[in-house]
Copies of this chain bind each other. A is one copy, B any other.
């Protein structure tokens, strides 16, 4: 092969991890069936798990797969503790699987330290064990926290702050003065801190740009998918609060606030200055107008159009939205419209006949 700038890898990749059922049971708060000294060295699905790996069953309907699975042990719900093989038994097998998977997970490798092809501005602070990958740009005055990994081709503008143990995947764009907390994950192609869409119209109907001088703030434990766009505030900040998870191709306009532990599924769009509460769920392709509030724990069905504020805990669907129950009825009623027309026609005929009967020809 032909190579111009060789890339040195971490010289000694960590050896494969393994854990005993005993260790896992303690970590996951599960109980054990079978030999507690059995060691597992990875996690696989029921179909794909290899001998020596751990697998999991979340539901009774997968019992046949569980019986035939090659895994050394299974995480199962209490209802399946009768399975005749080594088990970790827990009330929440799906959550236990997630936690076990994290134990085995190795993030994508990247060279340690600052790669020779990275462009790093003046006055940048880089924390201990942080990685700044190949062809990365880190503008002047940035601060990168301990253990944070900035993968190849990512761009940070000036005076960006990124906390500890973050992962910025390849080709992320994080623009001037934006702030990112700890343990934040941002996937490839996502742009944070692009200008909000703000214009005033002049006398001729031309659009005069309102410079967007605010920032984006992203709090701890947020994850943002690929090719999302989160615009900087006109003034102040656009704010994604702690623990919120955002899927791919989501648009967040200027000055939006998304509360803690919310979920925004792919292709959602939220317009300017709208505030989402905590634990809000917006399903795929939902659109939300600007300057409204969506209360804590509200849930919005896929493809809905949210044109008004939503109360805490409300479930809404439709475009425009209505309570989810009403939407279900509405959908059913709309489907039965041809039948409704038919009934009306028949009734009109009956009435005509009655009229004839009474008033004669």
Q: Give A residues with C-beta under 8 Å from B.
A: 1-7, 9, 43-45, 47-48, 92, 94-95, 97-99, 101-102, 104-105, 108-109, 113-126, 134-135, 137, 139-140, 152-153, 155, 157-158, 169-171, 173, 175-176, 185, 187-191, 194-195, 197-202, 205-211, 213, 221, 223, 225-229, 231, 234-236, 243, 245, 247-249, 251, 253, 261, 263, 265-267, 269, 271, 279, 284-285, 287, 289, 302-303, 305, 307, 319-320, 322, 326, 329-331, 333-335, 337-338, 340-341, 343-344, 347-348, 350-351, 354-355, 357-359
Contacts and interface: CB of A to CB of B under 8 A. Distances in A.
- The copy count of this chain in the complex is 3
A47 B236 contact: yes
Judged by DSSP, the binding face of A is loop
Contacts of A249: 227, 229, 249, 251, 269
A310 to B, nearest CB: 16
29 contacts: A1-B125, A4-B115, A4-B119, A5-B117, A5-B120, A7-B119, A95-B202, A97-B200, A98-B209, A108-B175, A109-B158, A117-B119, A119-B134, A170-B173, A170-B175, A173-B188, A187-B191, A191-B248, A225-B229, A229-B266, A247-B251, A249-B249, A251-B267, A269-B285, A289-B302, A330-B335, A330-B337, A344-B344, A354-B355
